[in-house]
């Protein structure tokens, strides 16, 4: 069986690869080169000259219709303007559930994911699927309303495109010349996900081009996605995401404590630098307490949750879900909170194929997958792997984080007058969209070396 890979890369560290396999007995796929934007390949130009005048006229008419529709969409968006931002689609519970489930699924140290990045990458793949493959992919993301989900993704892409945005999102699609991408799918990816399709012959330069795209759009935090493009790759979908936020209230020299100690669950201690501060709100769950620390601009915040003494981070994560978490974030308690936050920097890589198969997205990873919404008739394309890459650096100045995806897709009696939260042992942390408290990143600080 000859395999072909349909790959996708997504922001702030998530990489997914959508692979195609052409089953024995299937006919060869035909290539509609005029549906592939931006190709300057000589062979493509020669073939296009052979297209009958009737087909050229039809394709020109389709292109004109697409341009008219796109212009109408842009005018409609311009009229709605701030109304769309005011009515931001809330995917906080779904994003929190996804992050919590991924963190539950393995025992790695210092794990970090960007649920927004994962959703962006898998959403691009899901929109290219049909039938059971499509419904299973959206179900695995806990998405029941596809239209609202795509609107949420569009809102994040649009907001990230503003010059002063702390969150940057870049989506790109690379298609090998032997596949034909549906015009409708191409248009949707451009409109909702800001992704341009590049049609080219896959060779050694393709990996360099994609790695450069990832490096540039993660501010150099993720330098490389892969060493080479798999020989049977057909489409590579890439979303690169980066975040940079400065603290709203800078830490003074007197707030920076060196020579402090952080103790891992195995008892190993390390010397760290702690950032000392105060907040006037407490985040409380049955088995943990925490605080929220705002970044400049007010659009994003940092949150930390410390499990109760004697409970491991994994036990705490196993006891919560997205609704419990977002309810706690949305309903902080009034209290004076003194916190001690360690500086840290982590890189993390995670393969998510088994995770999504365990969530019910089985057909997408099998020869029975249907990605006809993306690539025409069902021709054996399937997801071969979902690799998630992330990076975070938190220090006295603020936080930088990035992700990329390649789809080759307490119950204790607390004194409410004053609470001290000393993060000198493993804790959970998040970077939140402050408007909806959607976790853009969520991770665990297990040990600091």
Q: What digits encode the pLDDT tens for the residues 159-202?
A: 999 988 999 999 998 888 888 889 999 999 999 999 988 888 88
d(C-alpha 33, C-alpha 354), whole Å: 35
Q: What pLDDT does residue 64 have?
A: 55
Task: Please state, in angstroms and rounded to a whole number, the distance separating the CA atoms of residues 48 and 140.
Answer: 40
User: Which CATH fold would you assign to the domain 253-344+410-445?
Assistant: Alpha-1-antitrypsin; domain 1 (2.30.39)
Residues lower than pLDDT 50 in the chain: 1-52, 55, 58, 62, 65, 78-84, 409-416
Q: Rounded distance, CA 278 to CA 293, Å?
A: 9
State the Cα–Cα distance between residues 8 and 18, nearest whole angstrom. Answer: 6
pLDDT of residue 405: 82
Return residue ranges of the chain for CATH 2.30.39.10.
Answer: 253-344+410-445
Give the pTM: 0.80
Residue 293's pLDDT is: 97
**CA quadruple 417, 336, 441, 255: dihedral positive or negative?**
negative
| Closest to 197 in 3D by CA, of 32, 63, 59, 37 | 37
Residue 325 has a pLDDT of 96
Partners of 6 in the β-ladder: 18, 235
CATH T-level fold of 2-246+347-395+402-406: Antithrombin; Chain I, domain 2 (3.30.497)
Q: Which residues contact 135 (CB under 8 A, 6 or more apart)?
A: none
DSSP count for the chain of H helices, then E strands:
13, 17
Which residues of the chain are in CATH 3.30.497.10 domains?
2-246+347-395+402-406
């Amino acid at each position: 069986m000859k395999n072909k890979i349909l790959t996708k890369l997504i922001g702030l560290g998530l990489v997914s690869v959508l692979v195609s396999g052409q089953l024995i007995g299937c006919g060869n796929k035909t290539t509609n080169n005029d549906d592939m934007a931006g190709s300057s390949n000589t062979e493509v130009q020669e073939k296009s000259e052979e297209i009958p005048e009737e087909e050229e006229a039809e394709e020109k008419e389709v292109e004109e219709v697409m341009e008219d529709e796109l212009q109408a969409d842009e005018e409609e968006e311009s009229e709605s303007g701030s109304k769309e931002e005011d009515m931001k689609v809330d995917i906080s519970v779904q994003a929190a559930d996804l992050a919590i489930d991924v963190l539950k699924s393995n025992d790695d140290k210092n794990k970090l994911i960007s649920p927004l990045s994962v959703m962006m990458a898998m959403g691009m793949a899901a929109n290219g699927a049909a039938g059971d493959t499509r419904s299973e992919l959206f179900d695995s993301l806990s998405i029941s309303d596809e239209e609202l989900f795509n609107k949420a993704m569009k809102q994040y892409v649009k907001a990230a495109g503003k010059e002063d945005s702390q969150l940057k999102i870049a989506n790109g699609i690379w298609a090998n010349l032997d596949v034909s991408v549906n015009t409708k799918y191409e248009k949707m990816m451009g409109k909702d996900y800001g992704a341009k399709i590049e049609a080219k012959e896959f060779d050694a330069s393709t990996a360099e081009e994609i790695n450069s795209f990832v490096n540039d759009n993660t501010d150099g935090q993720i330098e490389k996605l892969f060493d080479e493009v798999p020989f049977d790759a057909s489409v590579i979908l890439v979303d690169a995401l980066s975040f940079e936020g400065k603290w709203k209230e800078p830490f003074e020299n007197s707030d920076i404590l060196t020579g402090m100690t952080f103790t891992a669950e195995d008892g190993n201690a390390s010397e760290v630098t702690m950032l000392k501060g105060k907040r006037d709100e407490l985040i409380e769950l049955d088995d943990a307490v925490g605080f929220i620390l705002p970044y400049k601009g007010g659009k994003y915040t940092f949150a930390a949750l410390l499990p109760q003494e004697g409970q491991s981070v994994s036990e705490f994560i196993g006891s919560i879900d997205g609704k419990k978490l977002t309810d706690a974030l949305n309903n902080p308690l009034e209290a004076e909170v003194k916190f001690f936050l360690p500086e840290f920097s982590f890189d993390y890589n995670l393969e998510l194929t088994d995770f999504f198969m365990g969530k019910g997205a089985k057909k997408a990873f099998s020869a029975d997958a249907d990605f006809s919404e993306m690539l025409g008739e069902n021709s054996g394309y399937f997801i071969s792997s979902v690799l998630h890459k992330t990076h975070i650096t938190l220090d006295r100045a603020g936080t930088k984080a990035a992700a990329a995806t390649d789809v080759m897709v307490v119950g204790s009696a607390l004194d409410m007058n004053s609470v001290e939260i000393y993060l000198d042992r493993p804790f959970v942390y998040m970077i939140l969209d402050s408007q909806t408290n959607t976790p853009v990143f969520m991770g665990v600080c297990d040990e600091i070396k």
